[in-house]
A and B are shown apart, each in its own frame.
Chain A
Amino acid sequence: MRIKALTIRILRQIIRDKRTLGMLIFAPILVLTMLHLVFNGDSYIPKIGFIGIPETMVENMDLSDAEITNYDNTHDAQVDLLAQEIDGYITLTSGVPSIYLEGSDPTVNGETLRWIQSTFASLQESLTEDLEVSYLHGSSEMGQFDYFGPVLLGFFVFFFVFIIAGVSFIRERTTGTLERLLSTPLRKWEIVSGYVIGFGIVTMIQSTIIAAYTIYVLDMMMQGSFFYLLLIILSLSFTALTLGILISSFANNELQMIQFIPVIVVPQVFFSGLFNLETISNWLSWIGPITPLYYAAEALRDVMVRGFGWNEIYMEICVLLGFSALFMILNILALRKYRKI
């Protein structure tokens, strides 16, 4: 009854605040669309250096989709590679081509390799198998939009729910309405529950729209079930919500809440699988398993990329709900500052 009243009030406030409602839905759509266009845009024309490739070979190549520069020696090519004048170069070592890539951008790597492979394959079939590839930076394991899309989807839900819940709870404290709520017989767990349900409904709508947009309009890979996707996102939003409310008790105003973003939200991105987790230094790798986004990203990728079902994701969902339960208890304890019972 009282929780329902609180839930209805929160929904009314959000619906009335059109700009926030718009931000919840259109900001992630805008950013995801931009990322989609950036990563899946027109095909990139690679800039490739040739060192000592025989004239007869070059004449037989289709050079229309690449910019070719000829070098006399490896040193000149390396200088240009370092200056990012070219994306990679090819030399022939005893008849077998070796490829050396600049390597910092996965899109460029992919395009360059694809061009080289298709071009050389048309010349000599035996070469396609054992092309030797070396990198100046990075590696061939770096992901694409399909690979980190699920992480971004999770990130946006987490980010916006965290901020909006945190800020609305700060507003509740600074305007004195929290004190007023506690001067009624409302119990502390009822306040936290009302917030969780109210924002849970909003997030459900938000993530359905965003996920549907990325999957059906942006054509992001989706192998598993949409229902599981929503389940993961809902669990993640509970975590974001309860953490946002908890963090807001350490902030005195909205600006201070925003200051928590680089401390609480951004580091999670590094450990959520946007970057290869195995390459993270050992002394930092313990951070991943204590961040909620790590589990959400893994589960989302399981469903969206690998097409897995309940058996593979229930552990991650349990961990997320465990985080939420922990934060809820801490929130109830934090509210003791305002009323002992």
Chain B
Amino acid sequence: MNNLCVSIKDVTKHFGKHVVLKNIHLDILEGEIFGLLGPSGAGKTTLVKELSGLDTPTSGENIVLGQTMPKLEVINRIGYMAQSDALYEDLSAKENLQFFSSLYGLKGMKLKERIQEVMKLVDLTEHVNKLVSDYSGGMKRRLSLAIALLHEPELLILDEPTVGIDPVLRKKIWDAFYQLNEQGTTIIVTTHVMDEAEKCDRLGLMRDGSLIAVGTPSELKQHTNSATIEEAFLVYGGDIDEN
């Protein structure tokens, strides 16, 4: 069916003696919303950092958009949103947006257009001239997302995008994800919230650095005879599977 967007081949990562990722194999297709689900410390952040070019595996390789990471040319086609908001609080939202879009080479009319588009998508248009330090937590999260979207990336990598955000806002953010996904953007999202996992096309369950299961939410539930993803996770987590 679809082309491969990301291919993780036998990736292992050590930090000293501590093993963070163990022999991960995973293919993510173009145009899907892929969720990485697992408790904190499972290795989700390390894995998505490697996919964004911010980290490298100890062994194995990550192929993203047809090339082995890290590559500057591929980094240009990825939008990455980290767990922390990573904004310049002493600047206004607009100045933050201007700064990051210049880094991606946007300028002139195109730059103005994109800023308007992304701010509309995250519903912050009327707050564009405010200082970021005056933003609420949820607004910062959305601005952070807007920045990741500025250069119209083909692949969006989001690390816990809705952590600490209320259900109404979370729904708004997910609406934005669906909208982008419809336009063809592949989205990889990490989460430890089970109900959020249900919204993904496919899921990868992670625990202690291993990928313990991959499949659509319904497949995972069916396979384990569970009513919820949470139960399914417990079933998979119970037996020690190498892959």
List which B74-88 residues lie within 8 A (CB) of chain A.
75-76, 78, 80, 82-88
Chain B contact patch, size range: 20 to 34
Segment at the interface with B among A4-12, A73-81, A309-317: A4-12
Q: A5-B99, A175-B86, A177-B88 are in contact. Are A341 and B105 (CB under 8 A)?
A: no
Q: Give complex CA distance A322, B155 in Å.
A: 42
Contact A183 B78 (CB under 8 A): yes
Q: A1-B102, A9-B95 are in contact. Are A183 and B54 (CB under 8 A)?
A: yes
Q: Could you mark each residue 175-199 of chain A with 1 if its beta carbon is under 8 Å from any beta carbon of chain B, else 0?
A: 1110111111111000000000000
Residues in A whose Cβ lies below 8 Å from that of B73 = 185
Contact A1 B95 (CB under 8 A): no
Residues in A whose Cβ lies below 8 Å from that of B104 = 184-185
- Measured CB to CB, the nearest residue on chain A to B95 is A12
Q: B70 contacts the other chain (Cβ, under 8 Å)? A: yes
Residues in B whose Cβ lies below 8 Å from that of A130 = none
Q: Give complex CA distance A162, B100 in Å.
A: 26
Contact B102 A185 (CB under 8 A): no
Contact A13 B90 (CB under 8 A): yes
Contact B87 A185 (CB under 8 A): no
By secondary structure, the B interface counts as: loop
Contact B88 A341 (CB under 8 A): no
Q: Give complex CA distance A186, B72 in Å.
A: 8
Contact B54 A2 (CB under 8 A): no
Q: A338 contacts the other chain (Cβ, under 8 Å)? A: yes
Residues in A whose Cβ lies below 8 Å from that of B105 = 1-2, 185
Q: A339 contacts the other chain (Cβ, under 8 Å)? A: yes
- Measured CB to CB, the nearest residue on chain A to B101 is A5
| Candidates B72, B75, B82, B100; contact of A176 at CB < 8 Å | B82
| Candidates A2, A12, A17; contact of B103 at CB < 8 Å | A2
Q: A185-B103, A341-B71 are in contact. Are A179 and B85 (CB under 8 A)?
A: no
Apart from the given pairs A175-B89, A180-B147, 16 other A-B contacts in the complex at a CB distance below 8 Å: A2-B102, A2-B103, A9-B88, A12-B91, A13-B88, A16-B91, A175-B86, A176-B83, A177-B88, A179-B82, A182-B53, A183-B53, A185-B75, A185-B103, A185-B104, A341-B72
What would be 23 A-B contacts, judged by CB atoms less than 8 Å apart?
A1-B105, A1-B107, A2-B102, A4-B102, A5-B99, A6-B103, A8-B99, A9-B99, A12-B91, A175-B89, A176-B86, A180-B82, A182-B53, A183-B75, A184-B75, A184-B76, A184-B100, A185-B72, A185-B76, A338-B54, A341-B53, A341-B70, A341-B71
